[in-house]
């Protein structure tokens, strides 16, 4: 793990990496999406209004994480999502947080929350997960090094994407 190099990558970029490389590039270049986009508003609302008693936001290095209590009272890293449609991406984002914390000597488990679906999922970081995170970090770095956004490609995520106007109008 090359811990020194991590600050340019963050959990949001890791999340976008599995959704769309252009989103990674846009976010990293401060091209912010439409803050009034319905999906962004809903996501923000859910984050600001669910599990308030259980979680506690903390900043560790360049990441902001929610600490939550697990079913047996143990501390877990929580990540709240509005839907499980991109569950793989949510898992990878959480594994990235666990990876960063591992670099600080903290071996924790994670928990994904999908409050609208009343679903939860425990997430662990094993050897395969470490490799997966390292591949994603390398992939994000490659995208960040591009002078222009990656080529436009129609994806299943385009319709609800807050960048759709940038890409398709
Ligand atoms: S509209 Fe589609 S191609 Fe453009 S950033 Fe969003 S998901 Fe990517």
User: For each of the chain's 169 residues, which pLDDT tens digit applies?
Assistant: 554 544 478 898 999 999 999 999 998 888 877 677 777 666 676 667 666 666 677 888 778 888 777 777 778 888 888 888 889 999 999 999 999 999 988 888 999 989 889 999 999 999 999 999 999 999 999 999 899 999 999 999 998 888 988 899 8
- Tokens representing 7 are 């600050």
Judge if the beta carbon of residue 157 lies within 6 A of ligand 1: yes
Judge if the beta carbon of residue 22 lies within 6 A of ligand 1: yes
3-state class (DSSP) for residue 123? strand
Q: Hey, which of 15, 155, 162 would you mutate to test ligand 1's pocket, going by the most ligand atoms within 8 Å of its Cβ?
A: 155
pTM value is: 0.84
Q: How far is ligand 1, taken at its centre, from the CA of residue 20, in Å?
A: 6
CATH number of 3-163: 3.90.320.10
State the Cα–Cα distance between residues 136 and 17, nearest whole angstrom. Answer: 7
Which helix (H) or strand (E) segment is 153 a member of? none
The number of residues in the chain equals 169
Q: How far is ligand 1, taken at its centre, from the CA of residue 169, in Å?
A: 12
State the Cα–Cα distance between residues 21 and 144, nearest whole angstrom. Answer: 10
State the Cα–Cα distance between residues 68 and 70, nearest whole angstrom. Answer: 6
Other CB atoms within 10 A of residue 82 CB? 19
């Amino acid at each position: 793990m090359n811990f020194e190099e991590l600050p340019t990558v963050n959990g949001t970029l890791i999340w976008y990496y599995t959704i769309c490389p252009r989103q990674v590039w846009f976010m990293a270049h401060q091209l912010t999406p439409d803050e009034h986009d319905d999906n962004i508003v809903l996501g923000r609302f859910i984050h600001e209004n669910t599990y308030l008693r259980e979680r506690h936001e903390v900043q560790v290095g360049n990441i902001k994480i929610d600490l939550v209590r697990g079913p047996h009272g143990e501390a877990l890293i929580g990540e709240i999502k509005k839907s499980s449609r991109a569950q793989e991406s949510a898992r990878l984002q959480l594994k990235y947080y666990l990876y960063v914390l591992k670099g600080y000597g903290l071996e924790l488990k994670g928990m994904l929350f999908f409050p609208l679906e009343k679903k939860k999922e425990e997430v662990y970081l094993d050897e395969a997960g470490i490799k997966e995170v390292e591949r994603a970090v390398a992939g994000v770095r490659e995208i960040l090094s591009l002078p222009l956004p990656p080529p436009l490609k129609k994806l299943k995520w385009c319709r609800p994407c807050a960048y759709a106007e940038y890409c398709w109008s």
